[in-house]
């Protein structure tokens, strides 16, 4: 198969990446730490630092966010304590977030401390490399992999191997950091699709073929300001072995190589891999994949193996291992202080085996708690803040960063979204789970499209004044019949108007009743 390369005018960002690849900046970090962020070249500051996971926050000039990698959401107490130590030194400015990719972001970091922070990461076997800009983000999977009595396959080892391949063992990989755009991968090994596999650029979906477990493969799921789409089935099934690495490598290589000639590197609004799949069509994409791999590919299994509604993992649950439970704790809007993280580490060590799991709902789980220790764990002070039994709307509340730190944001999210959830929980009896997702702008990091209710930041005009508002989404479903919600009303002003609207919806459509 031959294609005639087309001539495409590269975007400014592509030109900057050719001038100096993002990862090349690694060697300059010590020098930047000495000369300071204000002396930095703008492309180094805004583009290349993100290849090391460093995001300058113009909202708080001179302060950085650091995005980590926690494959499959697994982290240990020592790593959590290291995070706590890093942000502790920044006082009120230092905090962290659990993200919608079951990951950790640190806040308030100063450039002069980065060399020392990188040394600490290395000691704790952690990395923030390739977590921003045109890179492959944290690999997601079921947060209860390996402890779930319902699971088909424990994805943790494959997630680790994928991360090692993509990041060259955490040191940075030039091969995997020359993509036309960001890229998400999810490996789902459980029957409830708890990690939203369909919204990833590559989604490995559990599926049995002739009785054997493996993955059907989706390509191209993504959200952006331009569109939100589920991944496209590419008629491929693979066993849960290193073939997952080979296939991922091949898909990424095709995306990187053909990005320029198919125009992806000339227009950032149309540069995610879905555009390549659509330009070629699934058949050609699959054929290219076979060519890249140099071997045939098995056809997809007729059915995916999703059989359950999505679980939320909050509270105490029996583990696959007899005599043990996992305890899911709710973190309001995912926000953590240094003290919280020290305590999380302590609880994981005191009551379990020092492991902590993160979820895409921005919560955490302590696995491997001996059943006889559960009661004492539930009495710990931290559980007053991070409840094992939160009120219904708060329980399923998810939110992106919003305007506190993100300069794309059209609204504040975490604070007012959480306040709304708390107020409505106080006023209404809500008999079922209602997943409310807030996101500050159309990039939809807070995944408004997967929520029962999705609030996507906007602006409205009220009495001649511009006010914060949301485009209201409804109908997002998760689990076995996952599908994306649609916008039902635009520009609903935040505050009382939004509250009354949501209250009405909860009463009319979710069976809520006013509390006496």
**Is residue 265 within the footprint of ligand SRM (CB under 6 A)?**
no
73 binds, among ligand SF4, ligand SRM, none (CB under 5 to 8 A by kind): none
> Given the complex with ligand SRM, which of 181 and 311 has the nearer CB atom?
181
Chain-centre distance for alpha carbon 460? 29
Closest contact distance (angstroms) between CB of 54 and ligand SF4 is 16
**Is residue 218 within the footprint of ligand SRM (CB under 6 A)?**
no
Closest contact distance (angstroms) between CB of 457 and ligand SF4 is 6
Residues 6+ apart with CB under 8 A from 279: 262, 263
> Given the complex with ligand SRM, which of 97 and 452 has the nearer CB atom?
97
Burial class (CB in 10 A: 0-12, 13-18, 19+), 205: buried
Q: Which of 48, 107, 137, 181 is catalytic?
A: 181
Which residues in 77-106 are b (16+ Cβ under 10 Å) and which e? Answer: bebbbbbbbbbeebeeebbbbbbbbbbbbb
Residue 205 and residue 197 in contact, taking contact as beta carbons nearer than 8 Å: yes
Which H/E stretch holds residue 221?
none
Q: Which of 186, 400, 441, 445 is catalytic?
A: 445
Could you give the CA distance from residue 512 to residue 318 in angstroms, rounded to a whole number? 30
Closest contact distance (angstroms) between CB of 457 and ligand SRM is 13
Tell me whether residue 181 is one of the annotated catalytic residues: yes
Which residues in 309-329 are b (16+ Cβ under 10 Å) and which e? Answer: bbbbbbbbbebeeeebbbbbb
* Contact set for ligand SRM, span 422-451 (CB under 6 A): 443-445, 447
Q: Which of 108, 263, 440, 454 is catalytic?
A: 440
336 binds, among ligand SF4, ligand SRM, none (CB under 5 to 8 A by kind): none
Residue 220 and residue 231 in contact, taking contact as beta carbons nearer than 8 Å: yes
**Is residue 127 within the footprint of ligand SRM (CB under 6 A)?**
no
Tell me whether residue 67 is one of the annotated catalytic residues: yes
Residue 331 pairs with which residues in a beta bridge? none
* Contact set for ligand SRM, span 104-123 (CB under 6 A): 105
Tell me whether residue 485 is one of the annotated catalytic residues: no
DSSP β-ladder status, 436-439 and 324-329:
unpaired
- The count of residues interacting with ligand SRM (CB under 6 A) is 32
Please report, as ranges, the residues that interact with ligand SF4 according to CB under 6 A. Answer: 400-402, 406, 408-409, 439-441, 443-446
Which residue has 């902590």 as its token pair? 356
Residue 29 and residue 114 in contact, taking contact as beta carbons nearer than 8 Å: yes
**Is residue 222 within the footprint of ligand SRM (CB under 6 A)?**
yes
Catalytic site positions: 67, 181-182, 440, 445-446
Binding site for ligand SRM (CB under 6 A): 55, 57, 65, 67, 97, 99-101, 103, 105, 131, 137-138, 181-182, 184, 199, 222-225, 272, 400-401, 405-408, 443-445, 447
């Amino acid at each position: 198969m031959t294609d005639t390369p087309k001539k495409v005018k590269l975007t400014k960002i592509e030109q900057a990446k050719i001038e100096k690849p993002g990862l090349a900046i690694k060697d300059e970090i010590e020098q930047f730490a000495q000369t300071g962020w204000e002396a930095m070249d703008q492309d180094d500051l805004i583009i290349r630092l993100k290849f090391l996971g460093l995001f300058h926050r113009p909202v708080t000039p001179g302060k950085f966010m650091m995005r980590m990698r926690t494959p499959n959401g697994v982290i240990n107490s020592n790593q959590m304590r290291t995070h706590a130590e890093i942000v502790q030194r920044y006082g009120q400015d230092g905090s962290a977030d659990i993200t919608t990719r079951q990951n950790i972001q640190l806040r308030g970091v100063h450039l002069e401390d980065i060399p020392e922070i990188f040394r600490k990461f290395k000691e704790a076997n952690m990395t923030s490399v390739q977590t921003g800009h045109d890179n492959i983000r944290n690999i997601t999977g079921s947060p209860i992999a390996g402890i779930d009595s319902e699971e088909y396959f424990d994805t943790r080892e494959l997630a680790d191997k994928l991360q090692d391949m993509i990041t060259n063992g955490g040191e940075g990989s030039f091969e995997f950091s020359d993509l036309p755009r960001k890229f998400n991968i999810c490996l789902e090994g459980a029957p409830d699709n708890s990690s939203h596999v369909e919204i990833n650029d590559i989604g490995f979906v559990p599926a049995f073929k002739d009785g054997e477990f493996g993955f059907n493969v989706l390509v191209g799921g993504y959200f952006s300001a331009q569109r939100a789409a589920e991944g496209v089935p590419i008629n491929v099934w693979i066993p849960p072995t290193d073939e997952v690495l080979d296939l991922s490598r091949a898909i990424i290589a095709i995306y990187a190589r053909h990005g320029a000639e198919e125009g992806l590197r000339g227009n950032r609004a149309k540069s995610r891999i879905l555009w390549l799949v659509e330009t070629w069509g699934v058949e050609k994409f699959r054929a290219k994949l076979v060519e890249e791999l140099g071997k045939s590919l098995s056809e997809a299994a007729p059915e995916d193996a999703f059989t359950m509604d999505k679980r939320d993992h909050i509270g105490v649950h029996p583990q696959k291992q007899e005599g043990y439970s996992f305890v899911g704790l709710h973190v309001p809007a995912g926000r953590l202080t240094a003290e919280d993280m020290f305590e999380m580490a302590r609880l994981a060590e005191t009551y379990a085996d020092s492991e902590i799991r993160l979820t895409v709902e921005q919560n955490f789980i302590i696995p491997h708690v001996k059943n006889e220790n559960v009661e004492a764990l539930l009495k710990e002070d931290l559980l007053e803040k991070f409840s094992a039994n939160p009120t219904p709307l708060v329980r399923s509340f998810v939110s992106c960063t919003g305007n506190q730190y993100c300069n794309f944001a059209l609204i504040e999210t975490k604070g007012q979204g959480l306040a709304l959830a708390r107020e409505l929980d106080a006023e209404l009896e809500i008999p079922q789970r209602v997943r409310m997702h807030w996101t500050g702008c159309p990039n939809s990091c807070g995944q408004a499209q997967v929520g029962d209710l999705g609030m996507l930041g906007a602006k409205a005009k009220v009495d001649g004044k511009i006010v914060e508002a949301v485009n209201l989404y409804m109908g997002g479903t998760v689990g076995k019949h996952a599908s994306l919600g649609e916008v039902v009303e635009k520009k609903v002003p935040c505050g009382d108007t939004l509250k009354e609207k949501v209250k009405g919806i909860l009463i009319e459509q979710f069976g809520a009743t006013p509390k006496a």
